[in-house]
Amino acid sequence: MGEVMEVTGVLQSVSDLPVQDPPGEEFSAADLRWVKYASSEHHCDDVALIPYDRMEAFISGECNNPEYPTRFHIERGRKRERGTLKEVRSDDYLLYRMYWCSFGPENYGEGGTILPSRRYRLNTRNRAARPQSMRGCTCHFAIKRLYARPSLALIIYHERRHVNKSGFVCHGPLDRDAIGPGARKVPYVGSEIQQQTMSLIYLGVPEENILQTHIEGIQRYCGSDAKVDNLASQYVHKLGMIIKRSTHELDLDDQASIRMWVDRNKKSVFFHQDSTETDAFVLGIQTEWQLQQMIRFGHQNILASHSSFGVSKLKYPLHTILVFDSRQQALPVAWVITRSVTKHDTSRWMQALTSRIHSVDSNWRIGGFIIDDPTSELDPIRNVFSCPILFSLWHIRRTWLKNIIKKCSNTEVQREIFTKLGKFMYSIWSEKNPMDILEQLFQDFVDQTTFIQYFKSFWVPKLEMWIDTIRNLPLASQESCGAIEGYHLKLKLKAYDDSQLDALQRVDWLVHKLTTELHSGYWLNLYADESGSFPEVKAEYIASTSWQRALHIPDEAVLFDEKEPLSAKVASQKDASLMQTVWNAGSEFSLCSCSWSMQGNLCKHVIKVNMMYAPRKDFQPSLSFQSFQRVLLDLWQKPLDDSFSLDLSVAWVMQMQERIQKVAELAASDGIAQVAGKLPIQWANKRGRRTAIRRTSPMRFLPHSNGSVQRDLTPKRNRKRRSTS
């Protein structure tokens, strides 16, 4: 462990600092020599200079401090581009991030200063087993990637001690009052271990297994001890009893109960509008963990909307904002409970959601937004998120297939009707009139009176709206449709529990269901996937969508019949003698004979057959590809021949093509360094000499969705004359 450097003076420039690079995979503040530094922004703080690529090693070392085990989260962040500063100081930054100990800065104890587990006894009948993990820790530091020297990072430690505002140690083995009377010999139960234990309890895991996992978690910070195991057993049992006895009804009146919940959970509410004569009820929920995942997976990525869940069964429909994680699984990052779809209310809660994110990361922005309801207001999405909008067909496909199976008993008739409806969808971009195909459908299946009456009464009045939306918006891919449908099935399984059918008309029950069981399930899934702690949970999470299950089917299991080119057979992985038949192969409106498809779901056999069908000559491009092709053709067909508009459209198409090629190349490569190494060399003059620099990527000149154009960040030559003596 290194010693802290003692100096008599205070440095005024970062240029005088030596660069330190301690050996090992990770290192901490104890391995560095610290120097006092003062400037107009900093008030004489401890600083050290390290290589920028060792920043993660330093953060990891600080988290694994044996005296104060913790994690550091990004409290604030800022970023600027090269060329934006006219005068550069030695401590100016390209990237600035402030990291705060996860046991702070807020204090969730009683009154914010004295915790319930202190030296006097409290009535704990209706109280949690221990206070929440945030204990008012003031330990925090900032890291600057220097503007003048981007390969270096400046660490500014504002407070190195893990103490609260009163100066007392507030977490870790040295905190004597962390978990009640026996806390002097028991380390503090971190938020990760607590959330893991709560998730296992909500999912119905036996208490013996939960206790074993909990003890393994706290033994990472201390050795095995009989007293520690005994206290851990009491903690798990008490937490389980509290969760089992908890109820969603804080008040007999549902509206009053929701107000009480909002007051108690302000950190998890980003928007709340009570129901009045003029205003509709709106409740926006987002936990701290969901906020972190939205920033992590949503930046420069796609958000999706799962709207209008429970329109006919719940008191207020549920609207979910989804992101796609590293495995492209749909992850809920915000819930909005409201019946209002007006532009005013939608703009307000969307603005509140983005404002909360920008308060943490001001540079956060998304690349696209997927909607699944043609009645959704598009202006709030364009104004708030400033991004392209895509449309998903998962809802209409699922609804049509479920009602065909329910209202038509003959399997061959089900197959023919679903194929006809697929032709109807594919004809939207052709010269044929889609309604002619629909009229032919009504004539061919006039004997299926139940389904025809349902379709005419429920869908025919809406079809014009759906067709206009499909024509005007690009369509989402089948993979994203499958991920959204996977979330829908999980939500439906949790929400429509038979034992809770009498509570569907209460909002507090829905809030309780979302923030406990559903939230805990997704937290544990992502934790198991990234840590590898629960192999069975991880395997189930990976295989939770039909797209991922289709990737595990070998190509040899798919058999095509030359006599029937529009059908295929898929051999079962468990029983090779069992074959599933897929009709209308190569279309999103394929139908499979498996039980999962017969429930109205998009099954793995349909996806796998479509993957194998793509190289065939008679393959019809997917709906999403046809909509994308239509966008490009519209750009090319708009201007008149030999006009300036034609030149501009061609330039836009070429830029879009180059950007798609770069993204596809990056997705197929091992890293960005492999792509950057292939960029051609461009010669440029610099200070009178000819030097070679990399050509600027064409993606840099593409306009953002809000209309602004990115500036060329190539360093400019300073033409200011020097004074001669």
CA distance 204 to 8: 61
Counting residues of the chain whose pLDDT is more than 90, the rounded percentage is: 29
3-class secondary-structure state, position 275: coil
Identify whether residues 268 and 205 lie together within a single domain.
Answer: no
In a domain, 680, yes or no: no
Give 601's DSSP letter: -
Cα dihedral 204, 205, 208, 209 in deg (nearest 10): -160
Residue 53, in any domain of the structure: yes
Evaluate whether residue 537 is within a structural domain: no
Can you tell me which residue has the tokens 């402030």?
A: 98
pLDDT digits (tens, 9 = 90+) for 23-80: 988 999 989 999 888 776 667 888 999 999 999 999 999 988 877 888 888 888 898 8
> What's the total number of domains in the chain?
5
Q: Is residue 528 part of a domain?
A: no
Give the C-alpha distances (Å, rounded to integers) separating 548 from 18, 450, 477, 556.
Answer: 50, 36, 14, 17
Q: What is the identity of the amino acid at 8?
A: T
Please identify, among 245, 272, 298, the residue that sits at the C-terminal boundary of a domain: 245
**Residues sharing a CB contact under 8 Å with residue 709, sequence separation 6 or more, in sequence order:** 701, 703
pLDDT band at 321 (very low <50, low <70, confident <90, very high): very high
Task: Please say which residue of 520, 554, 587 terminates a domain.
Answer: 520
Co-location of 64 and 146 in the same domain: yes
Check pLDDT > 70 for residue 638: no
Which of 67, 69, 71, 95 minimizes the C-alpha distance to 81?
95
Instruction: State phi, psi for 682 to the nearest 5 degrees.
Output: -120, 130
Check whether residue 166 and residue 198 sit in a common domain. Answer: no
Residue 519 burial (CB < 10 Å; 0-12/13-18/19+)? buried
Q: What is the pLDDT of residues 115-146, one digit of tens each?
A: 433 333 333 333 233 334 677 888 999 999 99
- Do 194 and 133 meet the contact criterion of CB atoms below 8 Å apart? yes
The token pair at 610 is 């479509």
452 in a structural domain? yes
Q: 394-407 and 449-458 helices cross at what angle (nearest 10)?
A: 150
Q: From edge to edge, which strands make up the β-sheet containing 567-571?
A: 558-560, 567-571, 579-583, 591-592
Residue 207 within any structural domain of the chain: yes
Among the candidates 245, 263, 282, a domain finishes at 245
| Structure confidence at residue 352 as a pLDDT band (50, 70, 90) | very high
Answer yes or no: are the C-beta atoms of 398 and 485 closer than 8 Å: yes
Tokens 């109820």 locate to 247
Separation between Cα atoms, residue 639 and residue 188, nearest integer Å: 68
pTM for this prediction: 0.67
CATH (domain of 513) = 3.30.420
Do 189 and 166 share a domain, yes or no?
A: no
Question: Do residues 305 and 371 touch, judged by C-beta distance below 8 A?
Answer: yes
C-alpha distances (whole Å) from 418 to each of 354, 397, 453, 591, 692 are 40, 9, 16, 8, 60
> Is 464 found in the same domain as 403?
yes
Residue 500: exposure state from Cβ atoms within 10 A (0-12, 13-18, ≥19): middle
User: 289 and 340 share a domain?
Assistant: yes
Question: What stretch of H or E contains 482?
Answer: helix 478-495
Rg for the chain (alpha carbons), in Å?
A: 30
Separation of alpha carbons 537 and 204, rounded Å: 13
390 phi, psi to nearest 5 deg: -115, 160
| Same domain, yes or no: 445 and 486 | no
pLDDT digits (tens, 9 = 90+) for 481-529: 999 999 999 999 888 875 566 778 889 889 988 998 899 889 888 888 8
At residue 561's C-alpha, the angle toward residues 555 and 562, to 5°, is 120
- Do residues 93 and 17 share a domain? yes
Nearest to 395 by CA among 496, 475, 499, 295: 475
Which residues form the domain of 444?
A: 394-472
Could you give the CA distance from residue 199 to residue 236 in angstroms, rounded to a whole number? Answer: 12
In a domain, 446, yes or no: yes
Q: 275 and 204, same structural domain?
A: no
Cα atoms in the Cβ-side hemisphere of radius 13 Å centred on 294: 26
Tell me, yes or no, whether 516 and 610 share the same domain. no
Q: Does residue 462 lie within any of the structural domains?
A: yes
In a shared domain, residues 351 and 208: no
Q: Kindly indicate the confidence band of residue 19, based on its pLDDT and cuts at 50, 70 and 90.
A: very high
Question: pLDDT category, 221, cuts 50, 70, 90?
Answer: low
Q: What is the mean pLDDT of residues 521-541?
A: 86
Verify that 483 and 554 share a domain, yes or no.
Answer: no
Residue 449 burial (C-beta neighbours within 10 Å; 0-12, 13-18, 19+): exposed
Calculate ∠ Cα 57-59-62, nearest 5°.
110
